[in-house]
Chain A
């Protein structure tokens, strides 16, 4: 069974602070994908990143960075110099890789989300 845990229900920071959102996952699959999604107040979910379990290199995209550590089953997300526009609910998610899913029995498991509020 797959499980994604986002222990932080809510986080509040002041603009320009750095903030890290934690994600811990459980899976029996040897290969899998990890994701982060953003849900701003408007409601629509937006895909941010996909990481293959083969690739443990950290990734940076502007003010966003992701730290994938297979040894601790974690895929944490850091926002540097946070801005008010970063205020949103952030979801971590997990899916089996194509081969493990059998090509059709696919399932993306979401965590319960972390509400990030960035105050001016």
Chain B
């Protein structure tokens, strides 16, 4: 069974640009969550999607947005990039069988903002 896949794996952008990251969950998984990982702040929750609806959002500015498609694939978008947006962006998928269902993480997309 294929794991969570994220594309691209690496990305370099300049300040002010926007970026779109993609996540394909494990087959049959219906929930997708996004996290930002930085050395200073650690792992921080961005948002979670289920059935194309955002169910939960973390404490990030409106420049961070996302969406989920009918096949459960998800994208996140960051507009007007800032240097501080440089991070590893992780996607996690969950089958949604129960509240303690395991979240499976992808390898992440490493975003560098110059």
A and B interact? no
Residues of B within 8 A of A (CB): none
